[in-house]
Chain A
Amino acid sequence: MLGIIFLVLCFCILIVVAIYNNLVRLSNLVKNAFSSIDVMLKRRYDLIPNLVETVKKYMDYEESVLKRITELRVEATQSNISIDEKVKIDNDISSNMSKIFALSEGYPDLKADESFLKLQTATIDVENEISAARRSFNSSATEYNININVFPNNIFAHFFEFKEISLFKTDDTENVIIKLR
């Protein structure tokens, strides 16, 4: 009898260990995916000063857009912001960048500027990277969220304090990229 109880206990411990390890694995995948987004967002922030400087020479009348994007860059580089705030700022930056490229249509000299063209290509590249990284993060986060919500994982997730992660929702970056083209 004691042997059976011991076996059942061992089995239960093994299940808990397996669930815990799986949750840790998924949580690490999500963290890894988010750090990839972070790296790419930094690449995008690094492009902003150059873009503003290049555009400023030609687009004197669009000062408000340039000022706004510079402010957003400063906000985004602050270290104490949450994922949700980061997502919001990121969306604002995306829409302002696409606004700059849309406005550039009215400035033929700017459109012919070599450094502007290089920045435009680099921006498309970064936006594609961000879009892919965001989708990868969302896929990992969805899998993680499902896992911490299903029974019996939810009991252990609550006990070991695995919290639900918000998805990286955006105003459809792919559309922004198409507009940039």
Chain B
Amino acid sequence: MHINISDFQKTYYENVKPLEDGIKQEKKKIYIIISIIIIITFVIIMISQMNIDIYSNMKEITDSYLTIIIIDFFIIIWLVNSFTSKLKNKIFPGLFKSIDSNFVYSSKAKWQIDQFTDSGFYNNKINSCMSEDNLYIKTDNQDINIYELEVTHGQGKQEKTVFSGLFAHIVLNKSFKSDVKIIYNKHKDFGIIKSMFANEDKVNLENIEFEENYDVYCTDQIYARRILTLTFMEKLLQATDKINNRIQISFKNNNIYIAISGIKLINDEALFFKKIDMVMILKTLDNIMEIIEVINFLELDEQIV
């Protein structure tokens, strides 16, 4: 599956652009409200400053100023968030549809923590797993769910992000004989993950460059090599070079899990203050498709059971 830019541009200008222009008006209103809030706060502070005399309690005054500013801050955050969520619900379903009619976007993903646990990328107990954006892709022979995910382990000061990025889940109509895990072995912050796989059966592969980038774990040495053919390894390396992000793949039962670290489907923070970054969205989608193409190369539905 490849994204056809000219088709996208056509449907984008016909269907999505008018909605985006409508949303811009709402953005202007929010800017006005925020400006009013700031002005009112400023006026309140100025008036109270004028009434201060030497007998006033400075601490109480500072506290009241701080309270006002914090309340303002929360109101602004709430306004920005509600705008972002409205924008996401109004624009993005159509926007993704205009990229490809098989794309179904949802801003509130029905996420189950079991999916990440089942992937085996992290064997310890997960503390929290947050997901916002979800893209469902239906193709002729596959159902692909892509989640924007942030997974943490531990609590309080010991809380640590174990994964932040895109997590794709592909369901096949056939099961794998053995679980195969392809783990990126140059993790900076995922040192714990690497050490946890030490006791599992590591598969030594003949592609030196691949071995430098990835560790493969499987209880069945031959089966692992059926999936990791020489061509598959080369293609995965090419995809890694192109994407420039850490990729991990897990084949388990009838599922394929793909984790791409440090990548987002939609940059929420920038949605309010900047324009929708279509270039970034298209690039992200293209990267995801690149990995799925590598997986599809295996022709899993036809060959491996």
Contacts and interface: CB of A to CB of B under 8 A. Distances in A.
Interface of A: 33, 36, 124-125, 128-129, 131-133, 135-136, 138-140, 143, 174, 178
A131 B303 contact: no
Interface in B214-236: 221-226, 229-231
Minimum-distance CB pairs A-B, first 9: A132-B225, A132-B226, A136-B221, A135-B225, A136-B222, A132-B222, A133-B222, A139-B204, A136-B225
Contacts, number: 38
Contacts of B206: 135, 138-139
A36 B229 CA distance: 17
A119 to B, nearest CB: 15
Interface residues of B, number: 13
Contact of A174 (B204, B222, B231, B303): B231
8 contacts: A33-B221, A124-B303, A128-B229, A135-B205, A136-B221, A136-B225, A139-B221, A140-B221
B177 to A, nearest CB: 11
A131 B229 CA distance: 9
B204 A143 contact: yes
A51 B94 CA distance: 53
A125 B225 CA distance: 13
B235 to A, nearest CB: 13
Interface in B284-305: 303
A129 B222 contact: yes
A17 B37 CA distance: 81
B55 to A, nearest CB: 85
A87 B206 CA distance: 19
A138 B204 CA distance: 10
